[in-house]
Chains A and B, each alone.
Chain A
């Protein structure tokens, strides 16, 4: 492969913009029909519904004139869900009737977890393709164990001060183990950059907490005064305000902080990613706009009793796609057409019994 990469002609850099061509109305019809079928079949059809949904989003996502494809066999997903369901059921039965067995099962799950993470990532990657070339995921058990369990322990020991480093380990594990036509992805991401993102998040959070507390304190005093001496003696006037404050904080974290920080981290990781050292990815999402999307989506879903959900997904995907691009020193076409040998017989391996999509 190296020879081929070196021998590639030096073409000017070409920027390929990603785009999403699905529509909310079209996806709504697909979603509601599949949902009704899932309910009527007591959940069995949900595996087919999942595949149709993923196919819709992959099939409408384009780079250049080509779209992505999702190939998963719903039966594999159904088997995976059945395994997960049986595992969950036997655990809850065991915890009721045989606590010792339940403890053993819990230990078993603990050690199976890294394997499950790998299996799910591999299943998704192998069933995804672009231009007739499949993706792959080659994460090893030991690495998954280190990243998902080792780092979790370390986080506890360091009182979460190493959270950005743990996040970096996960990003690296996820991206560096992905392959496209046998070619590796690679992400360069500095701990310093991640630390500064989380520092900004912390400052925003503390600012919000202090601001909200001051306002709540002021309101509490007013409410206390109007209620009169009865409320003051027990502090109840202020209590209901504190109650609301906790609810507001509870909403602030998923609605503002998670989308804001998450978007910045995504931009950083995507923009630090290369494929085969020749293609650079770039994501230029606006954290504020992503926060607005999350907030307005939630609001519209509440108003419409959840029926806005398909439009929420479509508008989010359309925005994220339109801010994602690939730049390379050659046309993707001339590059990917070199990927004949590396493709191998991956399709056959997909039929491996253990290649099932575990989890919901």
Chain B
């Protein structure tokens, strides 16, 4: 076969021809001057890959490269298995299906399962620490001390204690915090350590006590199921998986990870909200109450935030399921 012979440990080369005679490879210039003769068993031949040149490395630091891939395969009496896999469109299709199924399974079952397992096995000291850190950060950025009167606070604390007594962790497992949050607006959220934060802006929206009991039950479910911890683990699992899939940590790979990561996070988050609504409805029924007032409050909240009844934006971007769906679901239970 035709190619180039590079002299030992040198960039100097000549156009050459390689032939195999029994157990030796003989290299000669095109006009027949012998250059080298190497035992076949000490020749290292690179595997076939795309249309790139094959390299034959010899023990003395000389080498031979050639574009004649087929001739090298004939010499080896086989073509590389990997190359054959990479050539066949049918196998490429199989690989595509395999990757698709694996990615789908990873997204649907793998990430929630791993994040859930990690969240369940996170020691309480870590959970408390994370909760404290989050609260500190939020207090710095978006939260101010509550302006609610002591009487109003006491009223909600009594309702909270009643809901907590009926929740899995019991009365001592949760605590209620009041904060003024002009930037966030009417809202309630749970931290991993069992803290539930209620913003002052939420109070004017509440018409009946049953409504806020539903909110408390919903947030307590977030605490029990360690949803915020799971969210943290998901946030690191998804980009890691995409880096693995693209196979390099280059800029292209990193960029590709950002948006799918955000979309997946919102999808997982909607799943959590559904679970929390589910748990809240069950707990309310257990307390002998109806989930319908929670639905009323959700609708009022939505109207306040977006001016309409049917959501602020496209659902696939949202962290919560559509309010109309949630309200209908809660009323049906």
Residues on A lying within 8 angstroms of B by beta carbon are 21-22, 26-40, 43, 46, 49-50, 52-53, 55-56, 59-60, 67, 69, 96, 130-133, 181, 226-228, 230-231, 234-237, 239-240, 251, 254-255, 258-259, 262, 294, 297-298, 301-302, 306-307, 309, 312-313, 316, 332-333, 336-337, 339-340, 343-344, 347, 360
6 additional A-B pairs beyond A131-B11, A236-B185, A344-B9, beta carbons within 8 Å, are A30-B86, A39-B99, A226-B307, A239-B185, A240-B312, A301-B256
Residue from the list A38, A306, A307, A337 in contact with B10, Cβ < 8 A = A337
B260-300, CB < 8 A from A: 260
Contacts of A49 in B (CB 8 A): 247
Q: Is there contact, CB below 8 Å, between B10 and A132?
A: yes
Residue from the list A27, A40, A52, A236 in contact with B305, Cβ < 8 A = A236
Shortest CB distance B317–A (Å): 10
How many interface residues does B have (CB within 8 Å)?
62
Q: Is there contact, CB below 8 Å, between A36 and B99?
A: yes
Shortest CB distance B52–A (Å): 3
B33-62, CB < 8 A from A: 46, 49-53, 55, 61-62
Count of A-B contacts judged by CB separation below 8 Å: 173
Q: Is there contact, CB below 8 Å, between A181 and B95?
A: no
Q: Is there contact, CB below 8 Å, between A132 and B11?
A: yes
Q: Is there contact, CB below 8 Å, between B304 and A35?
A: no
Contacts of A43 in B (CB 8 A): 244
Known: A33-B91, A337-B11. A52 touches B82 (CB 8 A): yes
Q: Is there contact, CB below 8 Å, between A302 and B252?
A: no
Q: Is there contact, CB below 8 Å, between B10 and A259?
A: no
Chain A at the B interface: SS class? helix
Contacts of B96 in A (CB 8 A): 32, 36, 307
Residues on B lying within 8 angstroms of A by beta carbon are 6, 9-13, 46, 49-53, 55, 61-63, 82, 85-87, 89, 91-92, 94-96, 98-99, 102, 122-123, 126, 182-183, 185-186, 201, 242-256, 258-260, 303-307, 312-313
Q: Is there contact, CB below 8 Å, between B252 and A312?
A: yes
Known: A50-B247, A55-B52, A132-B63. A231 touches B307 (CB 8 A): yes
Shortest CB distance A223–B (Å): 9
A298 CA to B243 CA in the complex, in Å?
A: 14
A-B contact pairs, 23 of them (CB 8 A): A26-B51, A28-B92, A29-B87, A33-B95, A36-B95, A39-B98, A39-B99, A43-B244, A46-B247, A55-B52, A59-B52, A59-B53, A96-B123, A133-B11, A254-B254, A307-B96, A309-B252, A309-B256, A332-B11, A333-B11, A333-B13, A336-B10, A360-B244
Residue from the list B6, B251, B307 in contact with A228, Cβ < 8 A = B307
Contacts of A46 in B (CB 8 A): 244, 247
Contacts of A35 in B (CB 8 A): 95, 99, 245, 247
Tell me the nearest residue of chain B to A50, going by C-beta.
Answer: B247
Shortest CB distance A121–B (Å): 15
Q: Which 4 residue pairs across A and B have the least CB separation, nearest first?
A: A59-B52, A336-B11, A337-B12, A36-B95
Contacts of B98 in A (CB 8 A): 36, 39-40
Shortest CB distance A352–B (Å): 18
Q: Is there contact, CB below 8 Å, between B61 and A343?
A: yes
A302 CA to B277 CA in the complex, in Å?
A: 32
Contacts of B49 in A (CB 8 A): 30, 52, 55-56, 59
Contacts of B126 in A (CB 8 A): 96
Tell me the nearest residue of chain A to B11, going by C-beta.
Answer: A336
